């Protein structure tokens, strides 16, 4: 396969424009939201207005119609600027399921409004409290009843459900003991949360160590129109899997951006801070961990570019996308912890923003998929080792 990677600062104009938007949202903005556990409405509004949230929506539906690599650059730049796209990034990749598998009517109804920001599709209901990473065992049921489906069950960690108009919901439509393979019998629905809330759908925030606006969602005989089904009934798991490689690349880009933020902050501080009459960065015990974390980020960057290019070429990018997410999440964590150590006691002071970003970057090793599950993928699907579970 012939794919070409661009090195260095590709999409320079996008990087510059995103950087400029981010300048309006300094650390103090994010710190105040973190302390109040509030949603970054102003930041999301600015990003929506700029059109960057609709980067991957085709032009015919009012989006920018850009390749995945451009979206990856947007998210990396948001994070390297010290901001966080966690409040709205899902819109970029959840939309892909609707775009690839939705009917012409569904696409015409929703995509232009998502592109303009009139509708927010930011909630993705997959994970459940009792089944976790074992997605095909999820217990939420959607049972057809005339022109409707009746939904019962519970989701957990459904981020931004309280700030979203629409939710992409994965539910079982055929009981697991009536399908040949457990990946069958799952279906995807586009649930209108504005209609659903209070009518069989209850959303409760989960207090967490980061400001991620995440929730539990309870379904109790929620009735949704049958035409909210995306694609064919029973094929939902495949539709969700289709979107996961793009999601991995985008999440890896955010982790990379965070890593670059930490390297910049650590380097500046190590040059400025003088102890024992010299900058602390002159000590190799301070400089080497920063250099090592930088090297790890550069490797992750290459893998993200490879994954995005492979995705764009229409080839199977599962291996590259998973490895990119693995490397970027770990490199970002090493950069965060190195920066934390470099700042000494000041890392703990909120006004420096290191402790907040350090808490935030930890998530990438757990969600949207934990490190072990990526290693399982590589071990089984790339190397051909036996499945352990």
Ligand X SMILES: Cc1cc2nc3c(=O)[nH]c(=O)nc-3n(C[C@H](O)[C@H](O)[C@H](O)COP(=O)(O)OP(=O)(O)OC[C@H]3O[C@@H](n4cnc5c(N)ncnc54)[C@H](O)[C@@H]3O)c2cc1C
Catalytic residues: 247
Query: What are the angstrom distances between the C-alpha of 299 and each of 146, 256, 304, 332, 334?
Result: 53, 10, 9, 12, 13
Which of 124, 149, 219, 343 contacts ligand X by CB under 6 A?
124
Task: State yes or no: residue 366 binds ligand X (CB under 6 A).
Answer: yes
| Residue 177 token pair | 């003991």
Q: Which of residues 155-174 bind ligand X (CB under 6 A)?
A: 157-159
Task: State yes or no: residue 376 binds ligand X (CB under 6 A).
Answer: yes
Greatest alpha-carbon pair distance for the chain in Å reads: 79
Q: Do 324 and 304 form a contact (C-beta atoms < 8 A)?
A: yes
Is the CB of 302 or the CB of 373 nearer to ligand X? 373
SS3 of residue 221 by DSSP: strand
Stretch that binds ligand X, among 39-47, 124-132, 186-194, 232-240 (CB under 6 A): 124-132
Closest CA to 330 of 374, 288, 287: 374
Pairing assessment for the beta strands 229-230 and 274-275 based on DSSP bridges: unpaired
Q: How far is the CB of 44 from ligand X (least distance, A)?
A: 16
Task: State yes or no: residue 372 binds ligand X (CB under 6 A).
Answer: yes
Q: How far is the CB of 89 from ligand X (least distance, A)?
A: 10
Helices and strands (H and E) in the chain: how many:
12, 10
Residues 66, 49: Cα–Cα separation, whole Å: 16
Stretch that binds ligand X, among 111-119, 153-161, 239-247, 339-347 (CB under 6 A): 153-161
Q: Which residue is nearest to ligand X (CB)?
A: 132
Stretch that binds ligand X, among 31-39, 72-80, 266-274, 365-373 (CB under 6 A): 365-373
Task: State yes or no: residue 208 binds ligand X (CB under 6 A).
Answer: yes
Which of 132, 225, 234, 279 contacts ligand X by CB under 6 A?
132
Task: State yes or no: residue 368 binds ligand X (CB under 6 A).
Answer: yes
| Local structure of residue 160 (DSSP, 8 states) | T
For 18-34, the DSSP string reads HHHHHHTS-HHHHHHHH
Which of 226, 302, 367, 379 contacts ligand X by CB under 6 A?
367
Burial of residue 345, with CB atoms counted within 10 A of its CB: 0-12 exposed, 13-18 middle, 19 or more buried: exposed
Is the CB of 18 or the CB of 75 nearer to ligand X? 75
HSE-CB of 154 using CA atoms within 13 angstroms: 10
Q: How far is the CB of 369 from ligand X (least distance, A)?
A: 5
- Which residues sit opposite 158 in a β-bridge? 215
Q: How far is the CB of 24 from ligand X (least distance, A)?
A: 26
Stretch that binds ligand X, among 18-26, 154-162, 180-188, 331-339 (CB under 6 A): 154-162
Q: At what angle do helices 318-342 and 236-272 cross, to 10 degrees?
A: 30
Stretch that binds ligand X, among 8-16, 208-216, 236-244, 298-306 (CB under 6 A): 208-216
Is the CB of 247 or the CB of 301 nearer to ligand X? 247
What lies within 8 Å, CB to CB, of 282 at 6+ separation is: none
Q: Do 200 and 151 form a contact (C-beta atoms < 8 A)?
A: yes
Closest CA to 321 of 386, 389, 243: 243
Q: How far is the CB of 275 from ligand X (least distance, A)?
A: 37
Is the CB of 164 or the CB of 338 nearer to ligand X? 164
Residues 38, 205: Cα–Cα separation, whole Å: 11
Q: How far is the CB of 124 from ligand X (least distance, A)?
A: 4
Q: How far is the CB of 203 from ligand X (least distance, A)?
A: 12
Task: State yes or no: residue 212 binds ligand X (CB under 6 A).
Answer: yes
Peptide bond into 146 cis (omega under 30): no
| Residue 262 token pair | 């930490």
Q: How far is the CB of 164 from ligand X (least distance, A)?
A: 10
Is the CB of 305 or the CB of 356 nearer to ligand X? 356
Which of 4, 105, 198, 389 contacts ligand X by CB under 6 A?
389
Task: State yes or no: residue 133 binds ligand X (CB under 6 A).
Answer: yes
Q: With CB under 6 A as the rule, give the number of residues binding ligand X.
A: 22
| Residue 43 token pair | 């930041």
Q: Which residues bind ligand X (CB under 6 A)?
A: 124-127, 132-133, 157-159, 208, 212, 214, 363, 366-370, 372-373, 376, 389
């Amino acid at each position: 396969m012939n794919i070409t990677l661009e090195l260095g600062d590709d999409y320079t104009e996008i990087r510059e424009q995103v950087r400029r938007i981010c300048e309006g949202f300094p650390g103090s903005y994010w710190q105040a939201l973190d302390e109040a556990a509030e949603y970054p409405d102003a930041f999301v509004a600015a990003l929506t207005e700029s059109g960057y949230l609709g980067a991957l929506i085709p032009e015919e539906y009012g989006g920018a119609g850009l390749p995945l690599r451009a979206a990856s650059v947007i998210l990396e730049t948001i994070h390297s600027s010290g901001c966080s796209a966690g409040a709205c990034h899902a819109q970029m990749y959840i939309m892909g399921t609707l775009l690839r598998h939705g009917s012409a009517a569904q696409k015409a109804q929703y995509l232009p409004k998502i592109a303009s920001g009139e509708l927010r599709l930011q909630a993705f209901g997959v994970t459940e409290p009792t089944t976790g990473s074992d997605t095909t065992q999820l217990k939420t049921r959607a049972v057809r009843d005339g022109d409707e489906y009746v939904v019962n069950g519970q989701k957990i960690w459904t981020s931004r459900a309280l700030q979203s108009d629409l939710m992409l919901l994965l539910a079982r439509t055929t009981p697991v003991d009536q399908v040949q393979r457990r990946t069958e019998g799952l279906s995807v629905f586009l649930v209108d949360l504005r209609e659903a809330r209070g009518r069989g759908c209850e959303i409760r925030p989960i207090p967490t160590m980061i400001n991620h606006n995440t929730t539990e969602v309870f379904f109790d005989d929620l009735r949704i129109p049958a035409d909210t089904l995306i694609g064919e009934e029973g094929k939902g798991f495949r539709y969700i899997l289709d979107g996961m490689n793009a999601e991995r690349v985008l999440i890896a880009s955010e982790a990379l951006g965070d890593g670059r933020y930490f390297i910049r902050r650590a380097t500046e501080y190590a040059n400025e801070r003088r102890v024992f009459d010299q900058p602390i960065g002159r000590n190799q015990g301070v400089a080497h961990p920063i250099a090592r974390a930088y090297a790890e980020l550069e490797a992750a960057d290459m893998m993200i570019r490879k994954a995005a290019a492979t995705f764009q070429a229409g080839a199977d990018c599962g291996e590259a996308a998973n490895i990119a997410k693995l490397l970027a999440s770990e490199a970002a964590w090493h950069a965060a912890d190195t920066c934390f150590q470099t700042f000494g006691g000041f890392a703990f002071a909120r006004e420096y923003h290191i402790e907040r970003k350090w808490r935030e970057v930890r998530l990438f090793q757990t969600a949207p998929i934990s490190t072990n599950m990526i290693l399982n993928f590589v071990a089984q699907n790339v190397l051909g080792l036996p499945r352990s579970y």
